[in-house]
């Protein structure tokens, strides 16, 4: 074969060899990130990878002319640059809290548990009767700031005469961070009890949504805390304990996941550092308290767009092309690491059904038609909480039932206020405990 033909094949071979060497070094780096749990912001893995690569390059070029000895270093330089981008922060590493909201004062309360949380108070408005029992709202997350969409819904409830209080759980929104090993579902329940004590207004009504509904359910199983709860509304709960987290059951009617347009806005996961940190943590390859990404930096980096299809899953398929903007970039806050830590402690927790069966706090369960939650998470609460007096199956809405679309806010508010005032339910009491088998069989 003539040299003019052989030469291109040799060039292609060298390119492929260099590419394979570079990919191999990146793979070694990522493996070391996992092995070292990201120690030293990833520099421990980076230094070891570069050291191995340099030694290998020297060995490969030991018998070549001096110019030939440089060739093996090309993939080393490229891989070193690529992997270094995983080690260098691009956002502040000290916590950067969202700015104050223009429509409500942010207070900071130090709870007896040691948590310092951001508190928002919406006094009753309008000319109607005032309700003497305060209403406390627990947002979803589990460690997430309260969205502007939720703030708007809470203000709607004040026009019904309710004195509304809400707080962002420790580590979320404008609340102070905790050491990573202090985040747990038990701590969250204790914080709720401490918040009610600090409020000092006697027994309170509580509305818990999503992971906030899990927190409320577990509070009902704690007699010392449940004694301070007047009524409880459990809206779209997640799994309440370790056994229910292992249920792989059915979900509601189709949600907008997979068919809604991609969420607009910057994504931290488009950057190598945060793609590796968040991706590996979600896969369980890095611990929540890993050395690669500090809690504060992770909170600063995470954006609403990083939630991807999770937001779309909270809406019905029919609403896929009109999903509202739930929050602004300035107000959005989500602690991925702390949330994973809380979820892990929930997975490790024992069953609470025996304690929940002894609860006597009047409760209501709200279930969305297009819920992305496993149905058995809600029906387990219904089956094991005899104090649930009514269930409201909300047609035409997804997991985020008050979402500003059509008359969804009005319908959700009507269901909530009817229960709190012990008035007839706007919707049939469905499913009841007796309805659970048929409800699951019919894939409602």
Q: How many CA atoms lie within 13 A of 14 on its CB side?
A: 10
Phi, psi of 109 (to 5 degrees): -110, 135
pLDDT score at 79: 82
Give Cβ neighbours of residue 124 (< 8 Å, ≥ 6 apart). 130, 131, 158, 161, 162, 163
- Give backbone dihedrals phi and psi of 323, rounded to 5 degrees, phi first: -65, 125
Provide the pLDDT for residue 152: 97
Q: Does residue 205 contact residue 232 with C-beta atoms inside 8 Å?
A: yes
Q: How far apart are CA 303 and CA 96, in angstroms?
A: 13
Q: How many CA atoms lie within 13 A of 313 on its CB side?
A: 11
Is the pTM here over 0.85, yes or no?
Answer: yes
In the numeric block, which tokens belong to residue 155? 């203000």
Q: How many residues does the chain have?
A: 444
Per-residue pLDDT of the chain (444 residues; tens, 9 = 90+): 555 545 554 444 455 555 776 788 889 999 999 999 999 999 999 999 888 878 876 776 656 665 556 666 677 788 888 899 999 999 999 999 999 999 999 999 999 999 999 999 999 997 778 999 999 999 998 999 999 999 999 999 999 999 999 999 999 999 999 999 999 999 999 999 999 999 999 999 999 999 999 999 999 999 999 999 999 999 999 999 999 999 987 888 999 998 998 888 889 988 999 999 999 999 999 999 999 999 999 999 999 999 878 899 999 999 999 999 999 999 999 999 999 999 999 999 999 999 999 999 999 999 999 998 999 999 999 999 999 999 999 999 999 999 999 999 999 999 999 999 999 999 999 999 999 999 988 878
CATH for the 107-441 domain, from 3.40.640.10, 3.40.50.1820, 2.60.40.10, 3.40.50.720: 3.40.50.1820
Sign of CA dihedral 147, 264, 323, 367: negative
How many helices and strands in the chain, by DSSP H and E? 17, 8
Asked if the bond preceding 247 is cis, omega within 30° of 0, the reply is: no
What is residue 9's predicted lDDT score, i.e. its pLDDT?
44
What is the residue whose two structure tokens read 């009507």?
414
Location of structure tokens 């985040």: 183
| Residue 433 confidence (pLDDT) | 94
DSSP-derived pairing of the beta strands 164-168 and 388-398: unpaired
Residue 14: predicted pLDDT: 52
Using CA atoms, how far residue 274 sits from 32, 79, 299, in Å, is 17, 18, 11
Location of structure tokens 């040299």: 3
Neighbours of 4 (CB within 10 A): 7
Taking the C-alpha atoms of residue 388 and residue 407, their distance in angstroms, rounded to an integer, is 26
Quick one: DSSP state of residue 104? S
Are 252 and 368 a contacting pair, CB within 8 Å? yes
> 3-state SS string over 224-269?
HHHCCEEEEEEECCCCCCHHHHCCCCCCCCCECCCCCCCCCCCCHH
d(CA 18, CA 71): 9
Pair 393, 260: CB distance under 8 Å: no
Residue tagged 């002894």 (tokens)? 358
Q: What is the pLDDT of residue 249?
A: 79
CA distance 139 to 95: 21
Taking the C-alpha atoms of residue 424 and residue 428, their distance in angstroms, rounded to an integer, is: 10
Quote the pLDDT of residue 11: 46
d(C-alpha 109, C-alpha 440), whole Å? 43
Q: Where are the domains of the chain?
A: 3-84, 107-441
Q: Are strands 363-370 and 229-235 parallel, antiparallel or unpaired?
A: parallel
Query: What's the pLDDT at 65?
Result: 60
- DSSP bridge pairs for 392: 366, 429
Strand pairing class (388-398; 135-138): unpaired
């Amino acid at each position: 074969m003539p040299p003019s033909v052989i030469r291109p094949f040799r060039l292609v071979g060298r390119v492929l060899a260099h590419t394979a060497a570079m990919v191999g070094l990146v793979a070694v780096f990522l493996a070391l990130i996992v092995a070292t749990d990201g120690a030293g912001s990833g520099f421990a893995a980076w230094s070891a990878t570069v050291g191995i690569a340099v030694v290998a390059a020297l060995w490969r070029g030991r018998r070549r002319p001096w110019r030939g000895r440089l060739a093996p270093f090309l993939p080393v330089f490229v891989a070193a640059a690529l992997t270094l981008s995983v080690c260098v922060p691009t956002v502040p590493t000290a916590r950067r809290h969202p700015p104050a909201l223009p429509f409500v004062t942010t207070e900071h309360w130090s709870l007896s548990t040691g948590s310092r949380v951001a508190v928002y108070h919406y006094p009753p408005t309008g000319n109607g009767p005032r309700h003497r029992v305060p209403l406390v709202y627990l947002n979803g997350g589990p460690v997430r700031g309260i969205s502007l969409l939720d703030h708007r819904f809470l203000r709607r409830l004040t026009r019904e005469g309710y004195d509304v209080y809400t707080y962002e759980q420790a580590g979320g929104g404008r609340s102070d961070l905790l050491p990573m090993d202090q985040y747990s579902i038990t701590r969250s329940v204790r914080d709720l009890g401490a918040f009610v004590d600090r409020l000092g207004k006697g027994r309170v009504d509580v509305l818990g949504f999503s992971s906030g509904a899990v927190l409320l359910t577990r509070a009902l199983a704690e007699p010392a805390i449940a004694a301070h709860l007047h009524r409880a509304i459990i809206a779209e709960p997640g799994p309440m304990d370790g056994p229910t987290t292992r249920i792989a059951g059915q979900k509601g009617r189709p949600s907008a996941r997979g068919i809604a347009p991609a969420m607009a806005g910057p994504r931290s996961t488009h950057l190598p550092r945060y793609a590796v940190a968040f991706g590996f943590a979600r896969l369980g390859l890095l611990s929540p308290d890993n050395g690669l990404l500090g809690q504060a930096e992770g909170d600063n980096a995470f954006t609403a767009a990083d939630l991807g299809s999770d937001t779309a899953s909270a809406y019905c398929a029919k609403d896929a092309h009109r999903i509202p903007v739930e929050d602004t970039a300035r107000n959005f806050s989500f602690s991925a690491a702390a949330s994973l830590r809380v979820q892990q402690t929930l997975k490790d927790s024992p069953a609470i059904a025996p304690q929940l069966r002894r609860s006597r706090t009047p409760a209501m369960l709200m279930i969305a038609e297009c819920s992305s939650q496993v149905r058995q998470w809600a029906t387990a609460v219904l089956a094991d909480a005899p104090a649930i007096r009514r269930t409201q199956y909300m047609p035409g809405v997804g997991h985020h039932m008050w979402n500003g679309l059509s008359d969804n806010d009005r319908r959700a508010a009507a269901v909530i206020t009817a229960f709190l005032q012990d008035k007839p339910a706007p919707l049939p009491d469905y499913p009841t405990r007796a309805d659970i088998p048929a409800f699951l069989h019919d894939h409602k």
